[in-house]
A and B are shown apart, each in its own frame.
Chain A
Amino acid sequence: SAVISQKPSRDICQRGTSLTIQCQVDSQVTMMFWYRQQPGQSLTLIATANQGSEATYESGFVIDKFPISRPNLTFSTLTVSNMSPEDSSIYLCSVSDRGTDTQYFGPGTRLTVL
């Protein structure tokens, strides 16, 4: 499976600021996804990052709050904008390839908003 890295691994941010999380894969992949895992909760899909076009957001998530870029087949970013303490979560990227539904996860970014 692909090797996935995320930066930063953790951060503590002030309310009202924004943080951009990077996801890098060591090989080209068709699909990249962004998830949120709130404390003590399961994973919730934020959006599918589409290469060369706008991301596809799930219900309850909007582009103004979580802008996503995917400039190529190995890299994506998720920005958490105008943060509030409720955004404190682990943010995970995952990847899968065409022909398979299997998703592999990066190590995650632990975000704390004060």
Chain B
Amino acid sequence: QKEVEQNSGPLSVPEGAIASLNCTYSDRGSQSFFWYRQYSGKSPELIMFIYSNGDKEDGRFTAQLNKASQYVSLLIRDSQPSDSATYLCAVASGSARQLTFGSGTQLTVLP
């Protein structure tokens, strides 16, 4: 059974702070890792993907991957109220690269 676990939150941070979202996964054969943002009533929107150990930065977002620890994280710098959403960690594995999603972390950025 492939499992992806996230700290369920909710997580609140003040505007301008760094939000840190964490995710662990059980399948050591997982190849690709994704962060999606989902606003209430909307479908998931891709934020970041990462394939290799280390950090990957895109604007205010940094994804970090540690395959040895089976851990992936997302940092959001200079958090804005518009970042308030549920963040879903997803892990791809299997021949068809099916995605297994974590339960999501609800983030609120307080003005």
Q: A residues near B, CB below 8 A? A: 1, 31, 33, 41-45, 48, 56, 58, 90, 92, 94, 96, 101-108
Contact = CB atoms under 8 A, between A and B. Distances in A.
Contact of A107 (B43, B46, B101): B43
Interface string B92-111: 10001111111110000000
A42 B101 contact: yes
A43 B92 CA distance: 13
A41 B92 CA distance: 19
Nearest to B4: A42
B80 interface: no
A66 to B, nearest CB: 16
B96 A108 contact: no
B32 interface: yes
A43 B98 contact: no
Contacts of B98: 33, 45, 48, 58
Interface residues of B, number: 22
Contacts of B46: 1, 102-104
Nearest to A1: B46
A71 to B, nearest CB: 19
Interface of B: 31-32, 34, 36, 42-46, 49, 88, 90, 92, 96-104
Nearest to A110: B41
Contact of B99 (A41, A103, A106, A108): A103
A41 B103 contact: yes
Contact of B92 (A42, A56, A101): A101
A31 B97 contact: yes
A48 B96 contact: yes
Contact of B101 (A31, A43, A48, A101): A43
Given A102-B49, A104-B46, A108-B43, A43 B96 contact: no
A105 B43 CA distance: 7
